[in-house]
Amino acid sequence: MELCIGAARLSSGNLQDHARELAIVERCRKQDVDAFGKFVDSYQNRVFGFVRRMVSNAEEAADITQEVFIRAFQSFHRFDGRCSVRTWLFRIAYNLCVDRSRKVDRSPTEVSLQGTFEVDETFDVPDSRWQPDQLAIDAELASAIDEAISSLSEKLRSVLLLHDKEDLSYEEIAQMVGVPVGTVKSRLFLARAHLQQHLRNYLHAEVS
């Protein structure tokens, strides 16, 4: 059962896009190869971008991305249209990344912050998104950002990417990862705090 946000919450402009998505999905349900090709072309870059930052190896990220679309093709009959196709795809991608992490039994590096915050402590944080794409950043700073994201635990990294990079709402993410909205907010707070701390250290080292 897919947990999604009801279509009633979509804006009127988004409803048109939603209708087009459903039309493509309907064709894919009938195993229309051309429609599925368009479907993959529309979403593969964003799905790969998310997966690539959830796993460390580009080849493995490509394999997982391919598996996302295989799972989607096999599951179109279960997509009920109550959420966007993008949200549905990221739910599949997130689950595959979590499954992969469990299989390799890798313990991600936990964030070290000054203070005694717990991951599940609730914070009322402003909805200001981390948007590196809007900054004129050089390759070295971009690498520092990637390093900071990679050092986050899987729980914090996934929330940061889904909210700030992929524009999913707190409610959508909460349903995807199976935690309360307050926990999503607290994880996002900690992820942003770590990112800011990491970049402050990087910039300080640059001027020293």
Complete domains list, the chain, with CATH: 1-106 (1.10.1740.10), 108-208 (1.10.10.10)
**Residues 71 and 65: beta-carbon distance below 8 Å:** no
Is the pLDDT higher at 14 or at 170? Answer: 170
Rounded-to-integer distance, Cα 170 and Cα 123, Å: 13
* 30 alpha carbon, distance to own chain's centre: 29
pLDDT for the residue numbered 39:
92
Q: How confident is the model at residue 12 (pLDDT cuts 50, 70, 90)?
A: very low
Q: What is the pLDDT of residues 108-139, one digit of tens each?
A: 444 444 333 344 444 454 455 555 554 445 67
* CB proximity list for 86: less than 8 A, separation 6 or greater: 43, 46, 166
**Largest Cα span, the chain:** 61
Average pLDDT, the chain: 78
**Residues 37 and 96: beta-carbon distance below 8 Å:** no
- Residue type present at position 97: C
Statement: residue 33 has pLDDT above 50: yes
In this prediction, residues 14-43 reach a mean pLDDT of: 84
pLDDT for the residue numbered 85:
86
Q: Exposed/middle/buried for 68, CB within 10 Å: 0-12, 13-18, 19+?
A: buried
In this prediction, residues 52-58 reach a mean pLDDT of: 89
In this prediction, residues 56-74 reach a mean pLDDT of: 92
Is the pLDDT higher at 202 or at 44? Answer: 44
What is the pTM for the complete model shown? 0.72
